[in-house]
Amino acid sequence: MPEEGWTMQDGTAWAGNNPRDHPGMIQVFLGHSGGLDTDGNELPRLVYVSREKRPGFQHHEKAGAMIALIRVSAVLTNGPYLLNVDCDHYFNNSKALKEAMCFMMDPAYGKKMCYVQFPQCFDGIDLHDRYANRNIVFFDIGINLKGLDVIQGPVYVGIGCCFNRQALYGYDPVLTEEDLEPNIIVKSCGSRKKGKGGNKYIDKKRAMKRTESTVPIFNIEDVEEGVEGYDDETSLLMSQKSLEKRFGQSPVFIAATFMEQGGLRPSTNPATLLKEAIHVISCGYEDKTEWGKEIGWIYGFVTEDILTGFKMRARGWISIYCMPPHPAFKGSAPINLSDRLNQVLRWALGSIEILLSRHCPIWYRYNGKLKLLERLAYINTIISNFASMWFILLFVSIFAIGILELRWSGVSIEDWWRNEQFWVIGGTSVHLFAVFQGLLKVLAGIDTIFNFAELYVFKWTSLLIPPTTVLILNILNIIGTVAGVSYAINSGYQSWGPLFGKLFFAIWVIADLYPFLKGLLGRQNRTRTIVIVWSILLASIFSLLWVWIDHFTSAFTKSAANGQCGINC
């Protein structure tokens, strides 16, 4: 933006030059009588929306923007489905929406479907994906998300998601006669049990009455004319005061919420709708309403996406994880470690906020419609940060206990270090052979002969080969690390971390094996050539295998590096 700000065609200053203080603005690029494509089909509506922002009002960042778009779209077009894609993402698959509609319009499960979640895919990821931006375990393989399809569906990850508008309004899903089996009582957490006595019909009738009344479908004239013609219970539910307290003071928007299939009346005046659309994106519209509390995206949390999907699930909605062969959407990945860590920090902070709030999955709506396994999945999502913290504390406690034991027992640091060194030496030699010899003795009955007198007979055996191989590998690692300094200088500061990590690890291993190395060099005249030959041979084999396998690089990135990337890239 220019320093003096943008100007309109008539020379006046654009109202949106101050991003923190401007009125609500709407520009219709393609309206009700929009253009046609090359095949003569009508193009969808294209509308630019900028909600009103004033000092002293909370705008709630992304959650507030999404809720404003819900209301504007309901007034102008009122489509039954909404697509959530971030500003740094784009369509990568022209059939993505059709994939979502296959689930949303399914005759059996469509009316219970709150959203269809697509995997996150990114551009600009480095060859080795050092910062795990692809998150294959979570998205591509579907271990975390795909596995939830058999319960109530995956969690909402905040992007690449197609929503059912009715679910965002805080309604419960509509249950039909087919959803309630004969003589079955609907219980919380998805469990069911047989009814007893004469309560079978009553319980079923109550369940049908409750679920059907949560999403009443009326014509727009019914809402504008009032609630006459309905019984007392329905009149109380449909009273204008209660609706305004829930959705805000907009009769047009309130009427749109009752149209399950979406759409507008043919006689609707576009100018009136634009005026109403400006009204529903004003700063004070949400005051004393349920927006951000029970309707739309939930306010007050960093990860409002997880909580929004969770509250839908608690009302009985289900979701699905859609993984088309060609990625539906792609976006920009964090380009450095700092951005990636800040992203993970945001997710972790949001999880802790949910855990310490009244919306915690451990106790929120425990008698609701959230299935037990789905509840456990959400609990696992929000406590993963604490789980990793305890994992770190476990290792810290091991070191702390070791230090305290040394202090209490009077053992010196030098004695402890010598013990640790020989523990590493034994772990790379005798412990390794003990496992194989023990298995041979137990499974094959082959006994290992050991005489006490042999303890004092110095012999070069195969026990020396593994630690010698480890020493050679780490010496080669140090040489390669020193040679890689020039590569790190040319690649930027992000390459210095892995470089120093490799160097530190190699030096640490050699320091642990120093007594073995000293003994090996001290008896050089008695060292058998076969030990050195075997060690060099094994070190060469392991090095070649490491280079050939290159398990840090997927087949996709290998093909891309070789110029074999086709349309699926």
Residue 86 marked ligand-binding: yes
Backbone dihedral region of 189: left (phi > 0), alpha (psi from -120 to 50 degrees) or beta? left
Residue 371 marked ligand-binding: no
Using CA atoms, how far apart are residues 424 and 502, in angstroms rounded to an integer?
19
Closest CA to 66 of 282, 298, 242, 256: 298
Residues 347/303, Cβ–Cβ less than 8 Å: yes
Query: In the structure encoding, which two tokens stand for residue 291, read together?
Result: 């927006």
Query: In the structure encoding, which two tokens stand for residue 549, read together?
Result: 């396998």
Backbone dihedral region of 194: left (phi > 0), alpha (psi from -120 to 50 degrees) or beta? beta
Q: What 3 state SS string does 415-431 have?
A: HHHHHHHHHHHHHCCHH
Query: 3-class DSSP state for residue 87?
Result: coil
Contacts of 559 (CB under 8 A, 6+ apart): 565
Query: 3-class DSSP state for residue 115?
Result: strand
**Residues forming beta bridges with residue 92, ordered by sequence position:** none
Residues 174/350, Cβ–Cβ less than 8 Å: no
Using CA atoms, how far apart are residues 538 and 468, in angstroms rounded to an integer?
10
Query: In the structure encoding, which two tokens stand for residue 342, read together?
Result: 């800040």
How are strands ordered across the β-sheet holding 318-321?
81-84, 161-164, 113-117, 318-321
The torsion of the CA quartet 519, 525, 528, 532, rounded to 10 degrees, works out to: 60
Using CA atoms, how far apart are residues 18 and 135, in angstroms rounded to an integer?
38
Contacts of 18 (CB under 8 A, 6+ apart): none
Closest CA to 50 of 82, 14, 1: 14
Cα–Cα separations (whole angstroms), residue 243 to 110, 209, 302, 360: 26, 20, 29, 28
Closest CA to 45 of 57, 34, 56: 34
Q: Which helix H or strand E contains 39, and what residues bound it?
A: none
Query: What's the residue count for the chain?
Result: 569
Query: In the structure encoding, which two tokens stand for residue 332, read together?
Result: 């920009």
Contacts of 92 (CB under 8 A, 6+ apart): 121, 326, 327, 328, 329, 330
Q: Binding site: what residues are annotated? A: 62, 86
Q: Binding site for Mn(2+): what residues are annotated? A: 62, 86
